[in-house]
Amino acid sequence: MGSGIAQICATKGLDVLINDRSADLLDRSMQSIRKSLQRLTQKGSLSKETADEALGRIRTETSLEGLRHADFVIEAVVEDEAIKRNIFQTLDKVTSVHTILASNTSSISITKLGAATSKPHRVIGMHFMNPVPLMKLVELARGQHTSGQTFEACKGLAEFLGKDVATSQDRPGFLVNRVLIPMINEAFFCLMEGVGSAEDIDKGMRLGTNQPMGPLRLADFIGLDTCLSIMKVLHNGLGDSKYRPCPLLQSYVDAGWVGQKAGKGVYQYDQEHQKDART
């Protein structure tokens, strides 16, 4: 998702620095952006000139020190609270006092992430939907310390990027995943209990509720490991047994069947699907 966020920012004329822990991951990110821009130009959604200019605005770096002069940082690492807190502690040290620190987290407390810094008033949740260049929504979540100025600046950036904004309180799962992930979890319970096949569960939700993608196929697209992490945040954070992760979902993740990016989840994917997901 970080690649998608970088792409839309660069397309809108912003200078972008992508940071990751290795040059190989950064190369994959740039390959993903090039392929995405190429698809948009082929469809006529974007001119080749705009795509080329966007690529020219993107730099990559493996050190967080490169963010020292950034005005706005959007963190988009794995959905793990400990990892995110560690990154926010580091960002707090290397960025300017005026820098806004946003997290693309889909479930983790913004208040906790802000508390890991010396400027929690400048920490906010900015949850993009995947795939970022195509999905219109950005979900904003204010922590206990988030200032009104930070919120308005983040809202302004989202709207500048052409997104519609929904605002959530700082609660586990926020709005979208508070509703979506339990639906996916229940689909796994239906599959585990033999209520229906994966194909029929997905067909029922697609054709019966007019969803573009069934919940099990969507889970593969999101990543079963990510779905499980969010479900655990809901279960632990809200303390309600209705958020208990389905054992079958846990079993798939334990087996490494985490969805399209791994080549196998609920469904089997060919090598081309697998390659696209990883890049």
Domain boundaries, the chain: 2-169, 177-278
pLDDT score for 60: 96
Instruction: Respond yes or no: is residue 235 known to be catalytic.
Output: no
Q: Tell me if 2-169 shares its fold with 177-278.
A: no
**Among 177, 185, 229, 235, the one annotated catalytic:** 177
| 212 pLDDT higher than 50 | yes
Does the 177-278 domain belong in CATH 1.10.1040.50? yes
pLDDT score for 25: 94
Instruction: Respond yes or no: is residue 127 known to be catalytic.
Output: yes
Query: DSSP H helical segments within the chain, as ranges?
Result: 2-11, 23-42, 48-56, 81-94, 110-115, 148-160, 176-192, 198-209, 215-222, 224-238, 247-254, 271-278
Tokens of 142: 């204010």
| 124 pLDDT higher than 50 | yes
Instruction: Respond yes or no: is residue 106 known to be catalytic.
Output: yes
pLDDT score for 277: 43
**Among 3, 139, 229, 235, the one annotated catalytic:** 139
Tokens of 174: 């926020």
CA distance to 109, 123, 162, per residue, from 148 (Å): 18, 11, 21
Mean pLDDT of 76-92: 95
Residues 69, 57 contacting (CB under 8 angstroms): no
* 163-204: pLDDT as tens digits: 999 999 999 999 999 999 999 999 999 999 999 999 999 999
Instruction: Respond yes or no: is residue 177 known to be catalytic.
Output: yes
pLDDT band for position 275 (cuts 50, 70, 90)? very low
pLDDT score for 271: 62
CA distance to 91, 129, 184, 199, per residue, from 190 (Å): 43, 26, 10, 12
Give the strand pairing for 137-142 and 123-128.
Answer: antiparallel
Q: What is the pTM of this model?
A: 0.88
Q: CATH homologous superfamily of domain 2-169?
A: NAD(P)-binding Rossmann-like Domain (3.40.50.720)
Mean pLDDT of 60-67: 91
